[in-house]
Structure 1
Amino acid sequence: MLLLVILFIVVPLVELYVIIQVGQAIGAGPVIALLLLDAVLGAVLLRHQGRAAWRRFNAALNEGRVPHRETFDGVMVIFGGALLLTPGFITDVLGLCLLIPPSRALIRRAVTVVALRRFSMGQRVVFWTAGRAAGRRGPRRGPAPDPGRRSYDVEGTAREVPEEPGPNGPGRPTLPS
C-alpha cells in the first residue's frame, strides 16, 4: 500500500516540483522543449534497446538455454521506455538508467541479490544446473547422466487411449479399469 502511495502520489508531486523549479530557472518554453526532446529520445532508445533485447532473447532460445537474463533485460527496457515517455525529469533519469546496458547489468545484479536473500528465508538455496545440484555434499544419487543427453530432455512412456463413447459421455475416452 505504501509503495502505491509513493508511486502514484509522491512521485508525481515531486516531478511537478522539479519541473516548476527548472521552469523558473530556464523558462517554461525550454522546459517544455526539453521534456519533448527527452520523450523522443526515450522512444528512440526504447526501440533500439528493445530490438537488441529481442535479438538476445531469440539467440538464447536458439542456443537451447533459458533466457532468464534476456527476459529481465526486456522487462527493464520496457519500464525504462515507459519512464522516459512519462513527462518529468526524475522518471527520465530512472528510465535512462534502465535503458543503458551497463546500468541495467548493475540493477539486474542488485535485484538478483535482493531476490535470493528474500526468497531463501534462511534456508539453503540449491541451484540446479544440467541435472545436478550445485554444492551438494556426498555422492551423487541416481544413474550417471548420459553425456549425449541435454538437461531438458525427459524420458517417458505413453500409450494410446481409444476415443470411443462410453460411460464417461460421448467423445470422452474409455478409461481401462
Structure 2
Amino acid sequence: MPILLFISVFTLLDFVVLFSVGSHIGLLTTLLLVLLTGFVGLHLIRREGVSALARARARLQAGELPSSELFTGAALIFGGALLMAPGFLSDALGLACLLPSARRLLLGGLSWLGLKATVASQASAYHPHSRPDRPEQSASHDAGEPTTIEGEFISRDDPRHRR
C-alpha cells in the first residue's frame, strides 16, 4: 500500500510541475523539452545497455555472476520507462537511473539498506562458482575441471531389483 501511495503522489507532483513549467515557458517549449529528454534517454539507454550487456557476457564467460550488470540492466529499464512518461520529475529520475555515477550512488544506497547482499546471496545459490562454501568446491578442486559424482546405477529391467 505505501508504494501505491508513493506512486500516486509522485505522479500528481510530476503533473503539477509539468503544468507549472508549461504555463511559464509555453506549451510548445514544454512539449519540445519532454520530447528532447525522451530522445536523450533513448540514446543513453542504447549506449549504456550495450556496454552493460558486453560486461555481463564477459563476466559470465569468466564464470562469475554479473550481479552489478543485472542491477544496471534493471536501472536502465526503469529509467527508460520513466523517460517515456511525460513530466519533468520522472525525466529527472529516469536520467539519474541512466547515468553511471548516479547508478553507483543508488547501488550504494541499496547496499546500505542491505538489499544488494540479499539479492547477491539468492542469485549465487544458482551459480556454483560464486559460493566457496558449497561442498563441491573444495580447496583441491580446480574450477576448470568438471565435478565427478560417484553413484550406483540400478536398471529397472534387472530381475534382482523387481518388487
Shorter chain as normaliser: what TM range?
Answer: 0.7 to 0.9
Flag the 1:91–1:145 CA change in 2: closer, same or farther, 3 A. same
| Structure 2 CA distance for partners of 1:12 and 1:158, relative to 1, 3 Å | same
Map 1:61-140 → 2, pairs under 5 A:
61-115=60-114, 131-132=132-133
Q: TM-score, normalised by structure 2?
A: 0.77
**Matched residues in 1 for 2:93 and 2:116: separation?**
24
For this pair of structures, how many residues does the alignment match?
148
In 2, the alpha carbon distance for the partners of 1:144 and 1:36 equals 56
Amino acid at match of 1:150: A
More relative contact order, 1 or 2 (CA 8 Å, 6+ apart): 2
User: CA offset at residue 47 of structure 1?
Assistant: 1.2
Identity value in percent: 30
Structure with greater helix share of residues: 2
Contact 1:50 1:77 in 2 (8 A): yes
Larger Rg, first or second structure (1 or 2)? 1
TM-score, normalised on structure 1?
A: 0.71
Query: In 1, Cα distance between the equivalents of 2:9 and 2:42?
Result: 25
Unaligned runs of 5+ in 1: 120-127, 134-142, 165-174
RMSD (CA atoms): 3.1
* TM-aligned CA distance change 1:71 to 1:118, over 3 Å: closer
**Structure 2 alignment gaps of length 5 or more:** 119-128
